[in-house]
């Protein structure tokens, strides 16, 4: 995964999804990252959550369960 700050990810996401609110997306990202750091796991398979994806879809899931894909080498994950 490519690491990115919540601020930069939120900015990119809102640019591509103009109906979304920057502050809300950023807040959701930070909350998901906090849950990940606290040990949150995917409700489907028990793997650690993908904070960026979980913030967007609205539930705690891992990359594979959210996207159905296994290669996450070109996808983003938030950090801070």
Q: Work out the average pLDDT over 16-36.
A: 97
Whether 70 has a pLDDT exceeding 90, the answer reads yes
pLDDT band, very low/low/confident/very high, at 80 (cuts 50, 70, 90): confident
Domains identified in the chain, total number: 1
For helices 6-16 and 22-37, the axis angle rounded to 10 degrees is 140
Burial 37-53 (b: 16+ CB within 10 A, else e): eeebebeeeeeebbbbb
**Residue span of the structural domain in which 36 resides:** 2-79
Question: What rounded mean pLDDT belongs to the chain?
Answer: 97
Place 71 in a pLDDT band, splitting at 50, 70 and 90.
very high
């Amino acid at each position: 995964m490519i690491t990115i700050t919540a601020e930069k990810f939120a900015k990119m996401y809102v640019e591509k999804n103009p109906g979304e609110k920057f502050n809300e997306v950023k807040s959701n990202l930070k909350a998901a990252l906090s849950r990940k750091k606290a040990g949150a796991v995917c409700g489907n398979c028990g793997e650690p959550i993908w904070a960026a994806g979980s913030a967007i879809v609205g539930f705690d899931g891992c990359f594979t369960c959210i996207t159905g894909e296994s290669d996450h080498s070109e996808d983003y994950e938030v950090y801070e």
